[in-house]
Amino acid sequence: MPDVVDEYVTARPPGPHLAALTGWAQAGTAPQVHRGLPSPWLTFIVTLADPLVVAAHPDPAQQPGRYETLVGGLHTRPALITHDGRQSGVQLSVHPLAARGLLGMPAGELADRDEHAVDVLGPWVDRLQDRLRAAPGWSGRFAVVADELAARPHRPVAAELVRAWHLLTRTAVPVAAVAADVGWSARRLHARCRAETGLSPQELRRVARFDRARRALATGTPPAVVAAEHGYTDQPHLTRDVTRFAGLPPRRWLAAERRSVQDTDPGPAAGSPA
């Protein structure tokens, strides 16, 4: 009987432009379907062996595909990811306000899309993948990520955007008050938020709240408690939100997922790319 490999490792993100850095390897496990859930972070995945198989994208018009490397934008619908018992890779959760520097484009251009990372980032991605595959163990792979990202260009982010991001994703300040706080009109805040993240201010706030809530659900916190602690009016409100973003109500989502890279992630810390 072949040996079963089932590894999941996290590391401290190297710099404020990343919210989380994780690695995983599975072999000889049961085939699974995972939901790639909406979150406030861009997804950058570099596989170590078998391609990542995306059976359904957040945009239903995008055709399924196989990816050696992938960059995915912010979205409000789940992606479906399948594997036959083998998968391995490194995932970077990228702050969307860092996208102009790291990716060379605003995150809004990737909204609801999954792209081959080499098409976005060029040959650098192939070099990163080669180095990751040659690195000894997870600590070596994470060191490669830190080394490669340190050499990537970084662009300063407008203080107004950083402030608006914090208020929208970490507080309950009304959107109109967020605009006033940063000295913008509500229309300008909407336009800048959509361009820089791919989501409207209201969508970004709801996705950030859902991201916190589903992580709490994954730890076993009762839905009623999660609803009360994360700003939902009641448990049915939480259920509607989870159903919208995950495609399943809370208990069915938890039962279906069991284990996935995203859903066992302890969660990115709040941060700023500035």
> What does the pLDDT read at residue 257?
76
Does position 21 have pLDDT exceeding 80, yes or no?
yes
Rg over alpha carbons for the chain, rounded to the nearest Å, is 18
Helices 159-170 and 201-218 pack at an angle, to 10 degrees, of: 50
User: For residues 24 and 274, which has the higher predicted lDDT (pLDDT)?
Assistant: 24
Give the Cα-Cα-Cα angle 266, 43, 123 (nearest 5 degrees). 135
Per-residue confidence band for 258, with pLDDT thresholds at 50, 70 and 90: low
Residue range 181-229, pLDDT digits in tens: 999 999 999 999 999 999 999 999 999 999 999 999 999 999 999 999 9
Confidence (pLDDT) at 270 = 45
Residue 154: what pLDDT?
83
Residue 262 contacts residue 211 (beta carbons within 8 Å) = no
* Average pLDDT over all residues of the chain: 92
Taking the C-alpha atoms of residue 139 and residue 23, their distance in angstroms, rounded to an integer, is 10
| Per-residue exposure over 188-211, b if at least 16 CB sit within 10 Å of its own CB, e if not | ebbebbbebbbbbbebbbbbbbbb
Most confident listed range (13-27, 42-56, 251-265): 42-56
Name the CATH code of domain 159-257 (choices 3.20.20.80, 3.30.1360.30, 1.10.10.60, 1.10.3720.10): 1.10.10.60
Burial class (CB in 10 A: 0-12, 13-18, 19+), 134: exposed
Return d(Cα 218, Cα 262) in angstroms, integer.
Answer: 11
Q: Tally helices (H) and strands (E) across the chain.
A: 12, 10
Q: Where in the chain is the domain with CATH 1.10.10.60?
A: 159-257
Mean pLDDT value across residues 243-256: 93
Q: Is 212 helix (H, G, I), strand (E, B) or coil?
A: helix
User: If you write DSSP's letter for every residue of 221-261 in order, what string do you get?
Assistant: --HHHHHHHTT-SSHHHHHHHHHHHHSS-HHHHHHHHSS-H
pLDDT at 109: 97
Round to whole Å and give the CA distance between 260 and 257.
Answer: 6
Render pLDDT for 124-137 as a digit per residue (tens, 0 to 9).
999 999 999 999 99
Q: Where in the chain is the domain with CATH 2.60.120.10?
A: 5-155
Task: Give me the phi and psi of 85, to 5 degrees please.
Answer: 110, -5
Residues ≥6 apart with Cβ < 8 Å to 147: none
Residue 11 to residues 142, 228, 260, 268: CA-CA distances in angstroms? 7, 30, 17, 11
pTM assigned to the model: 0.92
**Residue 9 DSSP code:** E
Burial 60-80 (b: 16+ CB within 10 A, else e): eeeeeeebbbbbbbbbbbbbb
- 3-class state of residue 71 by DSSP: strand
- CATH of 5-155, picked from 3.20.20.80, 3.30.1130.10, 2.60.120.10, 3.30.110.30, is 2.60.120.10
Query: Given pLDDT bands bounded at 50, 70 and 90, which one contains residue 238?
Result: very high
Q: CA-based angle 126:114:260, to the nearest 5? A: 90
